[in-house]
Amino acid sequence: MTSTSTEDSAGPLDDVVVLDLSRVLAGPYATMLLADMGATVIKVESPSGDETRTWRPPETDGESTYFQAINRNKRSIALDLKDEADRAVVDRLLARADVLVENFRPGGLARFGLDYDSLAAEHPHLIYASLSGFGHEGAGAALPGYDVLVQGASGLMHVTGEPDGAATKAGVAVCDVVAGLHLYGAILAALHERGRSGRGQHVQANLLSSMLSGLVNQTSAAANTGVSPQRMGNEHPSLFPYGPFPTADGQIVIACGNDRQFVRLCRAVGADEAAEDERWTSMSGRNAHRDALRDVLCDRLRRADSAQWLDRLQEAGIPCAPVNDVVESLDYAESLGLQARAPITREDGTTSTSAAHPVSWSRSTISHRSAPPRCDEHRDEILRWAEAPAAE
């Protein structure tokens, strides 16, 4: 099933076959990135399909936009692992696969003989990638791995929201996304290592550990001081000014990471005296006296609208950006010359659009070659491929 077209064959992973037994978000996100790079990804779904097919609204042409976000460039086959014939199909696919990705509850695939220990001897080349919510061993193995649970347990909700408000979840399933990226990186590293050793291995990622890593400076602060960071709304604990500020008609984001940028900001907004005020000449001083500085900046920024300030600040070399909604952000990215949308038209004329692959390559080709599949859409093609002799 590997593509033979000039465009697709240039993908850096065009000789890699991924058997994707994952569902929902983190695993499918990782496998979609591999598919974008040319890997042949076979999405094995239950007869009822991936849960995210039913997560709607929103939808387009009767298809869940959630599912469409993370399943392009894949082929789908529906298999019941409890059925002997379907289980035999999995064995035939495993004989051709380089990577297996799964996010069943830890130990859940052992009853089908599809756990790593059961497969390692027969498929020593196989990279077996597992994803869980709270770890594959110990007490965490028994816990379900929904993103919102990990947002709460990881401390992400605790540091998100207004200081006097409730803990707040992020506006996207960021724990799933971060875990998917960690798993994706581990798969690439395991493929690289297999090129030296000729052997596969078991790589495991979990949402909680991934999010603790993804909290970066917040986790470091807690681990090194024993004191938990607190909610600061849109404030940064170590930088000021760094966040959204009001204008005459909305908000813009300003980010001053050093003293030189702060001086330029003061001059650009007509507050030259602030640059000389001893309270604010250093980052530590700006942090300590941020409330008074905020009053000065807000007073100046409210005198013109957002578009005027963005033009003026960008011309002065001050890092700034608009506060967009998501539709506006897609348009904004494209106005900067980036590819933001990846529309793919199916044979029936319907179109699926997702965020474009975010990385460009100087030689290799990244492709948005096929729309997210309908459940079991490629059964016949996959079965023929599984029965054909493998190329030497």
**Three-state SS annotation for 266-327:** HHHCCCHHHHHCCCCCCHHHHHHCHHHHHHHHHHHHCCCCHHHHHHHHHHCCCCEEECCCHH
Identify any residues that bridge with 17 across adjacent strands, giving them in sequence order: 40
Domain boundaries for CATH 3.40.50.10540 within the chain: 6-214+350-387
What CATH number labels 6-214+350-387?
Answer: 3.40.50.10540
> What pLDDT score was predicted for residue 4?
39
Q: How many angstroms separate the Cα of 42 from the Cα of each of 22, 77, 124, 298? A: 11, 7, 20, 54
φ, ψ for residue 96, nearest 5 deg: -105, -10
Q: Range(s) for CATH 3.30.1540.10 in the chain?
A: 242-335
Which residues are marked as active site? Answer: 176
**pTM given for the model:** 0.93
CA-to-CA distance for 131 and 187, rounded, in angstroms? 12
Q: Which helix (H) or strand (E) holds 18?
A: strand 17-20
Task: Give the containing element (helix H, strand E) for 256.
Answer: none
d(CA 214, CA 346): 36
Query: Which residues, including other chains, have CB under 8 Å from residue 19's CB and lie 6 or more apart?
Result: 42, 44, 90, 93, 94, 97, 99, 100, 101
Element housing 157 (H / E): none
Name the pairing type of β-strands 40-45 and 17-20: parallel
CB atoms within 10 A of CB 174: 19
**DSSP category for residue 142:** G
Query: In the 8-state DSSP scheme, what is residue 20?
Result: E
Along the 392 residues of the chain, how does pLDDT read in single tens digits?
Answer: 654 334 444 799 999 999 999 999 999 999 999 999 999 999 999 999 999 999 999 999 999 999 999 999 999 999 999 999 999 999 999 999 999 999 999 999 999 999 999 999 999 999 999 999 999 999 999 999 999 999 999 999 999 999 999 999 999 999 999 999 999 999 999 999 999 999 999 999 999 999 999 999 999 999 999 999 999 999 999 999 999 999 999 999 999 999 999 999 999 999 999 999 999 999 999 999 999 999 999 999 999 999 999 999 999 999 999 999 999 999 999 999 999 999 999 989 999 999 999 999 999 999 999 999 999 999 999 999 998 876 65
* CATH node for 242-335: 3.30.1540.10
